[in-house]
C-alpha cells in the first residue's frame, strides 16, 4: 500500500515539475509588445499635448512655482 502511494506521489511530482517551467515561462515573459505600444502611445500623446498647449503649460507651471516660492518666502 505504501509503495503504491509513494509511486503515485512520485508521478504527480514529476508531472508538476514538468508543468512548472512551461507555466512559469509563459507568465514570466509578459506582454512585451503591449507595453511597448503603451509606452509609444504615451510618448506621442505627450508630444502632441506639449505642442498644442506649450505656452499655457509653461504659464501654468510658472504660476504654480511662483505661488510656492512666495508662500515659502513669507515664512510662518
According to the model, what pLDDT value does residue 20 have? 62
pLDDT, tens only, 49-62: 989 999 999 999 99
Candidate from 33-37, 43-47, 61-65 with smallest mean pLDDT: 33-37
According to the model, what pLDDT value does residue 8 have? 76
CB 57 within 8 A of CB 50: yes
According to the model, what pLDDT value does residue 31 have? 73
Candidate from 1-5, 31-35, 39-43 with smallest mean pLDDT: 1-5
User: What phi, psi does 15 have (nearest 5°)?
Assistant: -65, -40
CA 22 from chain center: how many Å?
Answer: 23
Amino acid at each position: 500500500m505504501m509503495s503504491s502511494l509513494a509511486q503515485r506521489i512520485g508521478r504527480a511530482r514529476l508531472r508538476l515539475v514538468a508543468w512548472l517551467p512551461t507555466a512559469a515561462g509563459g507568465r514570466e515573459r509578459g506582454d512585451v509588445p503591449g507595453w511597448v505600444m503603451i509606452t509609444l502611445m504615451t510618448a506621442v500623446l505627450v508630444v502632441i499635448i506639449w505642442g498644442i498647449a506649450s505656452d499655457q503649460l509653461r504659464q501654468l507651471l510658472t504660476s504654480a512655482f511662483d505661488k510656492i516660492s512666495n508662500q515659502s518666502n513669507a515664512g510662518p
